Amino acid sequence: MRLALTLLFALSLMGATAQQTLAEIHFESENISSVIVQGVFCDVTVEPGRTTKIDGLIAGDGSPGDYEFVKSMDGGQLLIKVESRRTKNKWSWGSSRDSKIAVTLPEGVTLQIKNTSGDVQVERYTANTLDVQVTSGDVSLETINANLSLNATSGDLSVEGLTGDVTSKTTSGDQEFTSIKGNISVVATSGDLELAAVVGNITGQATSGDIEIEDAEGAIVLQTTSGDISGEEVLITGDSRFKATSGDVEFELLNDFSDLSFDLKTSSGSLRAGAVKESKRLILEGGKFDVLGVTTSGSQYFYE
């Protein structure tokens, strides 16, 4: 009897927790010029294909009709949006445990993703622009040929293999860029910035976090409030500026130092440009590219 009750309880528990399909969408077209995806509690994946194709699924322990994929067309623009039909606890992770939107796009179709509480992954994407906005989730982009706009409130960003200009901003999360051919403008309120193998001008700002650059070529403008700024194998090809309120600035440069002019200042720290060392102010003139550095509490080192 006890065994039978145990089995009955287990079966009832499985039935209570079993997931079912709450909403789904399957769409395919050859006449789409741009796509907008607005997801909630969904992981979004994008890969190339011959047609524009959307496959969406929301599964969980709610009831069919709690959620809906809304599709609308405006000319060649396709909008896919997740909406909740629940009256109580309108959005709940427990009621949508397995939610995803899979997108395939032909070359040239522009894409905008606005996602809340879910990750975004885009691979082998080619178009004029790519716009990704994430409220809580990580972003992974690989092999991108487009001008890129990124904005994340809470989540890490990873971009590898991009041709195009980048504008990126995070409130809380790290940003990592590798193999970039284009100009980069990045801002991080709380998080580190890492850039490697970049050919293009770099502008970066971190309020609380470090900025690290490796194997880069371009004009560089970097600023931190609380964090270090460092670089290895960097070739400066335009006027550059570095500012750290609380942190050090240290760069290994590939330049011939005769091509650079330095104006470095620090309130508390040491200064070095090549073989020249000073304590509060260091000036070297004569180069075609200006390097300006200011630290409040931190040292500055530029060497070959």
Per residue in 236-258, pLDDT (tens digit) is 999 999 999 999 999 999 999 99
In this predicted structure, what is the pLDDT of residue 93? 47
In this predicted structure, what is the pLDDT of residue 85? 78
Query: What's the chain's average pLDDT?
Result: 91
Give the span between the Cα atoms of 188 and 200, in whole angstroms.
19
At residue 95, does pLDDT exceed 60?
no
Exposed (0-12), middle (13-18) or buried (19+): which is 150, by Cβ within 10 Å?
buried
Q: pLDDT tens for residues 218-234?
A: 999 999 999 999 999 99
Q: Which residues contact 188 (CB under 8 A, 6 or more apart)?
A: 169, 170, 173, 174, 175, 204, 205, 206, 207, 209
- pTM of this structure: 0.89
Exposed (0-12), middle (13-18) or buried (19+): which is 258, by Cβ within 10 Å?
exposed
In this predicted structure, what is the pLDDT of residue 7? 43
What residue type is 168 in one-letter code?
S
Q: pLDDT tens for residues 171-227?
A: 999 999 999 999 999 999 999 999 999 999 999 999 999 999 999 999 999 999 999
Distance from the Cα of residue 86 to its chain's centroid: 32
Give the span between the Cα atoms of 300 and 276, in whole angstroms.
12
At residue 1, does pLDDT exceed 50?
no
For residues 106 and 84, which has the higher predicted lDDT (pLDDT)?
A: 106
Provide φ and ψ at 117, rounded to 5°: 60, 60
Q: At 99, list the tokens.
A: 């939610």
Q: At 144, list the tokens.
A: 């991108």
Provide φ and ψ at 11, rounded to 5°: -65, -40
State the average pLDDT over residues 157-162: 98
At residue 90, does pLDDT exceed 60?
no
User: Confidence class of residue 63 from pLDDT cuts 50, 70 and 90?
Assistant: confident
Q: 200 in helix, strand or coil?
A: coil
